[in-house]
Amino acid sequence: MSNVAAGSAAVAAGLAAALLGIAVTALGLVGRYPRWGHAARLLTYLMAAAAVAGVAVMERALITRDFGVKFVADNGSSTTPAIFNVATLWSALEGSILLWALVLCGYTVAVAVRFRRHRNDLMMAWALLVMFAVSAFFFALMVGPADPFIGVEVPAGYDGPGPNPLLQNHILMAFHPPILYLGYVGFTVPFAFAVAALATGRLGEGWLASTRRWTVAAWGFLTFGIVLGAWWSYETLGWGGYWAWDPVENASLLPWLTGTAYLHSVMVQERRGMLRVWNLSLVIATFSLTILGTFLTRSGVLASVHSFTESGIGPAILGFFAVIVAVSLALIAWRGDRLRTPGRIAAPVSREGAFLANNALFAAFAFVVLLGTVFPLLVEAFDGRTISVGNPYFDRMTRPIGFALLFLMAVAPMLPWGGSTRRVPTELLDRRLLVPAWIAAAALVLAVLGGARGWAALLAFGLGGFAGGAALRQIVLAVRRHRWRGLVGRTNGGMTVHLGVVLVAVAFAASQSYVRQAEFDLEANQQASFAGHEIVYLGSAVVVHENRTERVAFVRIDDAKTYGPAIATYPFASQTIGIPSVRSTLRDDVALAVLSFPDEVGPDRVILRVTVQPLVVWLWLGGIVMATGTVLSLVPAGSGRRRPEQVEAAAATAEPVA
Amino acid sequence: MSASDLRDPDTAPGTPRPSGSSADRWRTAWIAVPLAVAVALLVVVLATRDSAFERNASSPILGGLAPPVVGVTIAGESFDLDQWRGRWVIVNFFQSTCVPCIVEHPELIAFSERHAAAGDARVVSVTFDDTAENVRRFFEVNGGDWPVLVEGASEAAVAYGVTGVPESYLVAPSGVVVWKQLGGVTADGIDDVISELTTAAATP
Amino acid sequence: MSRRAASWLAALVVAAAAFLYGAVAEGPPSTNADRVRDLSEDFACPVCAGQSIAESDVPVAREIRRQIAVWVDEGRSDAYIRDELVAAYDADIDYNPSGSGVTSLVWILPLFAGAGIATVVVVMLRPGRARARDSGELPTAGRRRWRNAAVWTVAVVVVAGAAGLLVARSSGSRTADGSITGEIRSTAREKIFEAQQRLSDGDMAGAIAAYDEALELQPSNVEALTYRGWLTSRQGDLAGAAPYLDDAVAMDPAYPDARLFRAIVALEEGDGAGAAQDLAAFDSLDPPPYAEQLLTQSRVRERVAEARDAAALEAVDALAALEERPAFGDTALSVADALAASEALASRGDLLEAVQLLDWVLESRPADPDVLSGRGWLLVRSGDAELFALGVHYLDAALGNDPSNASGLVYRAFARWLHGDTPGAQADLAAFDALPHQPPDLVRLIEDQGLRTALN
């Protein structure tokens, strides 16, 4: 059986399973099919098997270089190294949809298995129905406009172009997209339960409890995926930048912002039963924004380096987005009466008050990013002019929000829940914030002694010290009290995440504020010194790889190791790309990029761009700390606590079906 | 503070309050409806956008006074576009390594020769992201005897808003940029434009 | 003061001191390269999807970076650089949306959103709300409540709007004001352009004013000087025009337009010699087509020739009027004058006088090839077979003295052609073509008589 036939069959089977799943759960919901739970679970297995088969077939086609598959003929190449050959799957549109479907099926199976005991709960039926529907949409995309298994006749001896050179020169490319997808797609689960809650009218905290870990996990993947993406662009683009407010980067940031807001505000609802509409809206917004991001990335409406080339799936995804938003809004409006908040926030200076402020800031942040991203399209639609919105706008508008969030990160964990009292807990804050305040002062003094200047960066360092101090204090106290168990659980894991955020924020401020860059025209064995580093150009050599030819410049930094930034020429892309080389230390990074070798006549020369940026490594370390914190927060926080199953069971039986 | 974030056991999960249900429903609708309108608007805007890959970049310098082209040629002579006022001028941006530029070159030679006798149209080439050495070799190999700007080339390229090579601009005798070509030109193509513009000017 | 309060105070003082010192103290000087990088990040690469000029490595990004570096080295302001790039690449190269017009909304709307969110939060936290909830009744009567809400809404909207406008003003990119930072050269160019357009609209006074403005900005602008002088002369003020044209020629002797206009003005002033000089200079240049057209239209060449002939005749007549004619070598006449006069005499029918005039010249310059060939040419054209042969003899003599004598070659080519000796004529013409410099009047003679076509 050819790869085309097998792949198409797998996709068709997946679509069929998803549609059957919709039918089965729908029948279950109207009471026509009591055994729907069992059947639905089997169908999720079937659907997932189809997705796995589809991906396996595609990988087989890629690895065996079956150019009879159009996707392989367009994106594969006999000379692509093995690891990038596997990663070719997500280097182009159709394959990326296939990967998306696989991840989505994985989540669907996980939900079906995890909640199999509730197989007769109608809330589960609704949730599975939503997940089947979303899966059906993605399978339908692959049957229709984004078919990965189109057969094609190629002449004998044909070799494909391989993926875009930028996508096959760094190992991170193999991990960044799948992890990002695990994050994006993971938000389908809370969304499905939110819709289920709205549909069944069981709008209490049950669905929140059921999906809390799922949301945290998805958020962790998304966070790590974004950090990996920044890391990748830092390593491959070679200009010392890692975040450029590119539309596609913004598209990944938007669900992260609303998701982060949700992770905080959900605690208010769990604790005090408030903000129901708001939490539902955040979950729905997060999922909708992942779909909107998918549209922006794949429709070609917004130009971005990360976007896939133009395709016919734009309208389909946009339509799907519209349906999601319309259905969700209609459901919320319909359930308006039941969403009435039973509790209230009395104390402004309290934990819940801080969460409220946090959510206001994240909402404003998301609004700024969304507006900036789509504003050029709006202006073009209404005014006919083309404009751009980029770095200066986002920097200026998001910076104050960032400062405010750092401040909240310091204060909020110290605040007690307010309950019905309006008393400002001065005594408590006085006691708890003193150490963080000293850490902030120490951070400022250290920064100034280290040569840091400028109010914005210093404010970031000071607030970073404050917030980091607060998080550290919490962790230390918890560890003292519970030993290793003081590191796990939502609160303490969350503090570790906060530490990671502080690292990222400080590294961001430092690397943005104190970056130095210069271009040097060096002959062999010529030396240049820049920003406290000695750079010697030792000469160059041509290295021929199977899929590219590189001319490598050997550059020694600070009389130590030799680095090899290069210019690579890929025959198929008829394009040269720079391969930067970065020397990373905990203190600063020296990034080298070859701009050109202007020595067609005369001695060996190189035009070298040197970027010296402090603390860049801490961005990635911060990302790892955040990921670690996410994992820690997923570990149950010790004995004496209710198991999640018990919570779910309690929540599921708390209310009658509407 | 450790692990103190358990749900309040006293918070009855989601007990709907019967009071004020219609008012609450209205309040939700008050927010939902404008939101729906905003999202619908966004969807409409997104749906009606052309692909970014198809959006054509128009040049703001068309119809205006030609930006200066001043500098030194590969022959070492100084050059100023203004001294050619009164003639049609093709300002051609090129790079010695670009294949379409090599393809285009004979057309420029043909155009230049066609107008050499009458002296009513000329060509000036401006190098783009290239070295003088490469350019000199390019002209040795491919021919062409018009001025080729090397010094001042970046300034001219950025002033014309050149985005890639080859790219050509037609400057009218009045000194106005009247036409722009992304990619290679042909001698006949330029002449068509010139005669079109000339007849358009002659018949007001 | 408790110990804790003291500790708080100390922490705050230390933090504030460090912060203030760091915020106020001078950092290490940022280099031009740093500024280039900062600026590069604020502009979109025109061809690369979603990348800034700093990020991209395509040629256009490199060129723009290079140019930004030039501007930065020249000490240009950010606004200037922004204006230049927008003028060339359009507004969408600027990542900083403008703070005016529709685009200012991108700055203002977030403040409205922020104000809206903040209002919601404040309302949720309002003590009255909590109390009202507790007691289950509204704090005020319905009407007053509505009025309060309206007042608050208006206040929030006004404050947010004002703040938004402020942000847009301070953040959105603004253009550099006028010519203060603008490059003088381009401004003078623009004035000249404006003058040309006014001229084509028939507004001569306006055009003159625009040229004056251009000259104010750049007094040495040759184009403005030239056309300012030309327009003045068209208004009848020849004396006023001369200084402009003289300046223009002095500034750039190779500017054809100035030469042509000055020749025309000189002719109108009766200065044939001056006009002849400028015309010669004009011919040695590479004039654009419209200048040639103007030259033909205003019959400059003919009028210069007429003036020269008239002057030469006058001189010769004056000599003839003398009782004893001095030797040619003792007069102030040049060979060219004598030749012109002889041509003039011949063309008014006095062939004999013309020949005699040249004979007189030959007494002083017996071997001058130009005079010999001129005498030969007079005879060749006489129509008489005997004189024709004699004329050819003179031409041979001229070329015997100087084989590369241009007029001799051309005249003999004509003579041989008239005589039916086509190969001989072709040989002479080929020899003429091989000369390093072909006098334009001879070239025109060949063209006017159609010699070349006749020989082919």
Taking the Cβ of residue C290 and every Cβ of chain B, the question of whether any pair is shorter than 8 Å is answered with: yes
- Pick among B4, B42, B130 to test the A interface (most A CBs inside 10 A): B42
Q: What residues in A contact B3, CB-CB < 8 Å? A: 478, 482, 489-492, 637-638, 641
Pinpoint the alpha helices (H) of C172-270: 184-200, 204-217, 222-234, 238-251, 256-269
Which 3 state secondary structure label does DSSP give B16? coil
What is the rounded CA–CA span in Å between residue B180 and residue A29? 64
Q: Which residues contact C92 (CB under 8 A, 6 or more apart)?
A: A376, A386, A387, A388, C44
For residue B170, the model assigns a pLDDT of 93
SS3 assignment for C357-391 = HHHHHHHHCCCCHHHHHHHHHHHHCCCCHHHHHHH
For residue B63, give the chain C residue with the closest CA. C193
Using the Cβ of C31 and the Cβ atoms of chain A, whether some distance falls under 8 Å is answered with yes
Q: Answer whether residue C132 shows pLDDT above 60.
A: no
Chain B contact set for C85 (CB, 8 A): 158
- What is the C-alpha separation between C273 and C306, in angstroms, rounded? 11
Query: Is C178's pLDDT higher than 80?
Result: no
Q: Which residues contact C444 (CB under 8 A, 6 or more apart)?
A: none
Note whether A10 and A103 are within 8 A (CB).
no
Least confident of A483-487, A532-536, A598-602: A598-602
Q: Which residues of C touch A452 (CB under 8 A)?
A: 22
pLDDT tens digits, A131-154: 999 999 999 999 988 899 988 888
B56, closest residue in chain C (CA to CA): C47
C50·A304 Cβ contact <8 A: yes
- pLDDT for C311: 81
Name every chain B residue with its beta carbon within 8 A of the beta carbon of C290: 86, 173
Closest chain C residue to A450, measured at CA: C22
Nearest C-alpha in B relative to C252 = B83
Nearest-CB residue to A379 (from C57, C102, C167): C102
CB contact under 8 A, C255 and B173: no
Interface with A, mutate which of C26, C117, C135, C166 (most A CBs under 10 A): C117
Task: Report yes or no: A527 and A535 within 8 Å, Cβ to Cβ.
Answer: yes
Chain C interface includes A606 (CB < 8 A) = no
Q: Which residues of B touch C189 (CB under 8 A)?
A: 65, 68, 82
Strands A588-596, A581-584: pairing kind = antiparallel
pLDDT for the residue A654: 39
Inter-chain touch B87–C70, beta carbons under 8 Å: no
B58 touches chain A (CB under 8 A): no
Report whether pLDDT(A325) > 90.
Answer: yes
Q: Count Cβ atoms below 10 Å from residue B12 Cβ, excluding itself.
A: 14
For the record, the structure tokens of A122 come out as 């109608």
| pLDDT computed for residue A643 by the predictor | 45
Residue C288 in contact with partner chain B when CB distance is under 8 A: yes
Cβ–Cβ contact B40 with A under 8 A: yes
Are the beta carbons of C60 and B119 separated by less than 8 Å? no
By C-alpha distance, the chain B residue nearest A476 is: B2
Taking only the tens place, the pLDDT of each residue in C426-436 is 888 888 888 88
B4–chain C nearest CA distance, Å: 24
Residue A21 structure tokens: 């799943």
Mean pLDDT (whole number) for C270-276 = 85
Higher pLDDT, C386 or C10: C10
CA distance C190 to chain A (A): 26
Q: Please tell me if residue C94 touches chain B, with a CB cutoff of 8 Å.
A: no
β-strand partners of B151: B72
Residues of A with CB below 8 A from B8's CB? 271-273
Contact C94 A387 (CB under 8 A): yes
Report the SS3 class of residue B88. Answer: strand
Chains touching A by CB (3 or more pairs below 8 Å): B, C
Residues from chain C that touch A385, judged by Cβ atoms under 8 A, are: 91, 102
Q: What is the mean pLDDT of residues A175-199?
A: 93
Residue of C nearest to A427 (CA): C4
Q: Do C28 and A451 touch (CB under 8 A)?
A: yes
What pLDDT is stored for residue A10 in this prediction? 95
State the Cα–Cα distance between residues C246 and C262, nearest whole angstrom.
Answer: 8
> What pLDDT score was predicted for residue A172?
82
Neighbouring chains of B at 3+ CB pairs under 8 Å are A, C
Residue A19, helix vs strand vs coil: helix
- Which of B4, B5, B141 is the best mutation test for A, with the most CBs of A within 10 A? B5
What's the pLDDT score for residue B90?
94
Q: How far is C71 from chain A (nearest CA, A)?
A: 16
The beta-carbon neighbor of A519 closest among C33, C109, C124 is C33
Residue stretches of chain B with pLDDT short of 50? 1-20, 55-56
Average pLDDT over residues A399-423: 88
CA-nearest residue of chain A to B29?
A333
Per the structure block, which two tokens stand in for C143? Answer: 């009407």
Q: Does A244 touch chain C (CB under 8 A)?
A: yes
- Give the per-residue pLDDT at C419: 84
Q: Identify the band that residue A644 occupies on the pLDDT scale cut at 50, 70 and 90.
A: very low
Could you say which of C46, C88, C186 has the minimum Cβ distance to residue B61?
C88
In the prediction, which pLDDT does A465 show? Answer: 95
Angstrom distance (rounded) from CA C278 to CA C74: 40
Cα–Cα distance between A268 and A110 in angstroms, integer?
A: 27
pLDDT for residue B50 = 66
Interchain contact B200–A (C-beta under 8 A):
no
Closest residue in B to C64 (Cα) is B158
**What is the length of chain A?**
658
Closest residue in A to C16 (Cα) is A441
pLDDT, average across residues A548-564:
90
pLDDT confidence of residue B120: 87
pLDDT digits (tens, 9 = 90+) for A1-50: 688 999 999 999 999 999 999 999 999 888 888 888 889 999 999 999 99
What is the rounded average pLDDT of the residues A598-613? 82
In whole angstroms, give the CA distance from residue C258 to residue C240: 15
Looking at residues A474-481, what average pLDDT do you find? 91
Which of C67, C70, C186 has the CB atom closest to B68's CB atom?
A: C186
Amino acid at B25: R
Residues contacting B35, CB < 8 A, separation 6+ = A329
Tell me the C-alpha distance between A98 and A308, whole Å.
Answer: 14
C-beta neighbour count of A119 within 10 angstroms: 18
Average pLDDT value for chain A: 87
Q: Which residue, among C178, C249, C264, C162, has the nearest Cα to C217 in the 3D structure?
A: C178
Q: What is the pTM of this model?
A: 0.82
- For tokens 């912002």, name the residue: A257
Q: Percent of chain A beyond pLDDT 70?
A: 93
Say if A543 is an interface residue toward chain B (CB within 8 Å).
no
Mean pLDDT over A364-369 rounds to 95
Contact between A258 and A250 under an 8 Å Cβ cutoff? The reply is no
Query: A616 pLDDT exceeds 90?
Result: yes
Instruction: Examine the pLDDT at C379 and tell me if it is beyond 90.
Output: no
Which ipTM value was assigned to this complex? 0.87
* Percent of chain C at pLDDT exceeding 70: 92
How far is the CA of A213 from the CAs of A44, A495, C85, in angstroms? 21, 16, 50
Please name the residues in contact with A174: beta carbons below 8 A apart, sequence gap of 6 or more: A83, A84, A86, A87
pLDDT of residue B27: 67
Question: What was the pLDDT predicted at C450?
Answer: 83
